[in-house]
Chains A and B, each alone.
Chain A
Amino acid sequence: MPEQSPKTNNIPAVSVRDLTVVYGSNRILDQVSFEVSQGSVAAIIGPNGSGKTTAVRAILGLIPKNSGRVHLLGKHVHSVRTLIGYVPQRFEFDHDFPMTVGEYMDMARRLRCSRHFRPEIIPKKIKEVGLREDILSANLGELSGGQLQRVLIAQAIINDPAILFLDEPTTGIDISGEASLYGIIEHLNRVHNTTVIMVTHDISVISNVVDTVICLNRKMLCYGPPKTALTERKLNELFGKRSGIYEHRH
């Protein structure tokens, strides 16, 4: 049987209390607090340099926090590692490195999954992110930006994580690719009840996909359902004139 996330519906998937991260004299995050419920989709938005990626990295324990508490499914991140999937903002690798998609996925399966996850899970996950099975024999360096992003998501969900973190998942992807990617996020959330937390600057689609929005600019400026949290005043405060691109689709 695959590993199960704790059946703790009252416990939030992510709970952040007074998270503060300081680099030298630069306060990147200042007492940020929010919660994301299990089975929901949340977006962390904000302008460049607002601390979005730092927040995710601090939540995942990739960088030290100066103060604050972070719990995933009510526990410390180290004790729920097998229940987390993560797609970082950048995947910088040598494009000529000889490794096929199948080999990369199998390596992730062997490292991240319990032995109950048989190799058959690989084509299943590849199809789930909208790719054809024959891509498994392609070299990683031959993939387009959109294909690579989907392979990275397939790798991140290989162990059926309870929480999936995506850092700027649409970077370098064209408009049709973006739409398809949001379709994958909705599918994972709807079919597997995966909690998805994504960092994005793409506020135009948030109201269609996201249950909770967290607006960051070092401090938390707004938090809640997009319809109520993303007021014109908050968006102007967050992005200035850039907020004009936002279209409320409710």
Chain B
Amino acid sequence: MDFLEMIGQPFMQRALLAGMVLGGLLAGLGIFVTLRKMAFFGDGIAHSSLAGISLAILLGWSPLPVALAWALMVALVIWWLEKSVRLPSDTLIGIFFTASMAVGILVISRTEGYQPEIISYLFGNILSVGKGDLAVILTLSAAIAAWLAISFRRLTFMSLTEESAAVAGIRIRLHSALLYVALALTTVLGVKAFGIILVSALLILPAATSRLLTRNFRSYIVVSLILSQITVLTGLALSCRMDLPSGAAIVAVGTALFFLGAMAKKLWK
């Protein structure tokens, strides 16, 4: 079926809305992920959510709320341990990433029969976003986007010069914790659409590509957001046109844009 024909279908409308909202939010948060060099965080949180998803499936509950709660707990424990035991965040993320994966695999091994839902969460299926999922995605995304808009300058200033920001009265610990929570929730919301394995690409690729092409902060933000929308829309269109898995098609488009950006930068230099 043609992409334009499919847009008339409710499942495709839900997919487009979820993809564009989550793509934009992940790109916005990706600015801080690249600035604070925490690209591994998104990957770690996404993989950690497997434990929550597996537990929910074992207990017969809805996977998304359980995965969100699990990721929230992991993010806050990482944030607390960073200051308490003074270990680098990538070490802590590595520990919780693998520990949660282990919990997930152990739980899956106790679940009888083939579990297609787990495969759908591993690789993502944006076309399977239901009305309930969309309501959760839109509600949480609106809350996170509102917080991000209010805190954007504070987050940027503290990401550049943490001590100057602290002296200026910015509550560093509180804003770091909220950033971790926002990243964890958005990443897990993205897991449903883009998959555990692929979601972190949407956090990194638009921000990384935009960085290659821009010289000032305002254009960096705008180009990141535009690239995220191009990535999601083109990926979905390709997925429909060529009957490809949607998550993989979206990430492939984002990666292609990154390489085009890298070549453009090389040529302009």
Contact = CB atoms under 8 A, between A and B. Distances in A.
25 contacts: A57-B163, A62-B163, A81-B167, A84-B167, A86-B163, A86-B167, A88-B161, A88-B163, A88-B164, A91-B161, A94-B37, A96-B211, A97-B160, A98-B211, A99-B217, A100-B215, A100-B217, A103-B217, A103-B218, A104-B160, A108-B157, A110-B153, A111-B154, A111-B157, A112-B168
A107 B163 CA distance: 15
B169 interface: yes
Contacts of A91: 161
Given A94-B35, A99-B217, A100-B215, A107 B167 contact: no
- Category for how many chain B residues contact A: 20 to 34
Give the residue among B163, B166, B215, B216 with the most A Cβ atoms within 10 A: B163
B214 interface: yes
Contacts of A61: 166
Interface of A: 57, 60-62, 78, 81-82, 84-88, 91, 93-94, 96-100, 103-104, 107-108, 110-112, 139, 152, 155-156, 165
A235 B214 CA distance: 51
A98 B216 contact: yes
B156 A107 contact: yes
A86 B160 contact: no
Contacts of A165: 167
B129 to A, nearest CB: 33
Given A93-B160, A107-B156, A111-B153, A98 B167 contact: no
Nearest to B216: A100
A96 B215 CA distance: 9
A124 B169 CA distance: 24
